């Protein structure tokens, strides 16, 4: 029992230390706060594969809004369902902002921000964070200004 408690404390401390190392850069924060530059993508619009991959689960899957997905940690019979589902995505000329939910032991919400390379041939992961469920891009901007997010490591999953 003591070992489990110690392991949890160490994991919490390590997570807190790691999160502080990946803040959203100020220039990117300022650009993201400019709501008029962003438009929400329609459900029928596809994310670029590289951007979708930044949000996909361990099996490379990301359910679209309204699609079947695994919201709990119970395995689905007859196949693998995605454990992550897109809530909404928005884009500007330079950025994609993707809000998705993740199922499992805890149901959580996340945001991924990616920027287009100068020649628009690829995308770079800028920021990944967990936070509240957000209805739309204006809610994201309000949450961003209120610092309602916990930054996550920029590891590609």
Region class of 47: left (phi > 0), else alpha (psi between -120 and 50), else beta = beta
Domain extent listing, the chain:
24-151
Strand order in the sheet with 108-116: 39-40, 84-91, 95-102, 108-116, 123-131, 150-151
Q: Which two tokens stand for residue 53?
A: 């991959």
Q: Quick one: what percent of the chain has pLDDT higher than 90?
A: 63
Which of the four pLDDT bands, split at 50, 70 and 90, describes residue 69? very high
Using the predicted structure, report yes or no on whether residue 153 has a pLDDT greater than 90: no
pTM: 0.81
For residues 34 and 36, give the distance between their C-alpha atoms in angstroms, rounded to a whole number. 6
Using the predicted structure, report yes or no on whether residue 52 has a pLDDT greater than 90: yes
The H-or-E segment that residue 88 falls in is strand 84-91
Helix, strand and coil percent figures for the chain, each rounded to 5: 30, 25, 45
Which of the four pLDDT bands, split at 50, 70 and 90, describes residue 155? low
37 or 19, which is more confident?
A: 37
**Least confident range of 26-35, 72-81, 124-133:** 72-81
């Amino acid at each position: 029992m003591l070992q489990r408690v110690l392991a949890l404390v160490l994991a919490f401390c390590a997570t807190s230390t790691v999160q502080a190392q990946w803040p959203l850069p100020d220039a990117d924060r300022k650009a993201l706060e400019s709501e008029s530059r962003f438009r929400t993508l329609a459900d029928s619009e596809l994310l670029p594969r590289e951007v979708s991959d930044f949000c996909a689960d361990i099996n490379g899957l990301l359910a679209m809004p309204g699609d079947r997905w695994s919201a709990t940690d119970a395995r689905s019979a007859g196949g693998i369902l995605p454990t992550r589902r897109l809530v909404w995505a928005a884009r500007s000329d330079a950025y994609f902002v993707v809000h998705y939910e993740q199922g499992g032991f805890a149901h959580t919400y996340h945001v991924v921000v990616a920027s287009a390379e100068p020649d628009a041939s690829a995308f770079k992961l800028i920021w990944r964070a967990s936070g509240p469920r957000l209805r739309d891009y204006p809610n994201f901007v309000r949450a961003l200004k209120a610092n309602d997010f916990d930054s996550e490591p920029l590891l590609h999953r």
